[in-house]
Amino acid sequence: MSNIMQFVGGVIGLPPTAIIGSNETASAGSWAAGFINFTGASNIRSTLSGALTANTYKEILAVTGAGVLNFSAVSAEDSTARSVYMKVLIDGVQVIERSMSIGAQHQGPVVIGSLIGDGTNISGMTFDQIPYSASLSLQIKSSLTETDKLRAWYHYRTV
């Protein structure tokens, strides 16, 4: 059986135990409807939340085996005011959690990777290369009890 170290090697190929990024809470307007139109051309997958219980995480993606996470984000499907959250677990360890208080459709935080543009006119995106050896889990939550009002966005590959 292969593992990710065979392909990337060294410290760079080790799965992270924490991702240290901005210590700021993402601000409203950090990305908007333009993102939705851009993702199809970038091969970004999305999944609606299904039923959510307020302030309770729900797993949206579970991958077993080794691979690389390139992009993850969460957005709202309507303009209801709420707080949205996404956390990423790599090999069973929570490595990052991002939140954003929003009140507009298609707003939400980018957790892994980034978007290039002004929030309405997205002109590009960047992928990170976050390795995982055994498992990947993306989980989302809302401050409200609701159904299919959040969407998780992600791109990953397995090795």
- Over residues 116-136, the mean pLDDT reads 82
Q: Vertex 62, ends 53 and 64: CA angle to 5°?
A: 155
Report which of 46, 76, 88, 73 is spatially closest to residue 146, judged by C-alpha positions: 76
Give per-residue pLDDT as tens, 31-61: 444 455 555 656 788 899 999 999 999 999 9
Q: Domain 25-158 maps to which CATH number in 2.60.120, 2.40.160, 3.30.43, 2.40.10?
A: 2.60.120
Percent of the chain at pLDDT above 90? 47
Tell me which of 126 and 86 has the higher pLDDT: 86
SS (H, E, C) 136-149: EEEEEEECCCEECC
List, as one string, the DSSP characters of the chain.
Answer: ---THHHH-TGGGSPPS------SPPPTTSS-HHHHHHHGGGT-EEEE--EE-TT--EEEEEEES-EEEEEEEEEESS---EEEEEEEEETTEEEEEEEEEE-STT---EEESEEEESSSSEEEEE---EEESSEEEEEEEESS-EES-EEEEEEEEE-
pLDDT at 9 over 70: no
Q: Please write the tens of the pLDDT for every residue from 46-100.
A: 899 999 999 999 999 999 999 999 999 998 999 899 999 999 999 999 999 998 8
pTM over 0.75: yes
Q: Look at residue 33 in the predicted model and tell me its pLDDT.
A: 40
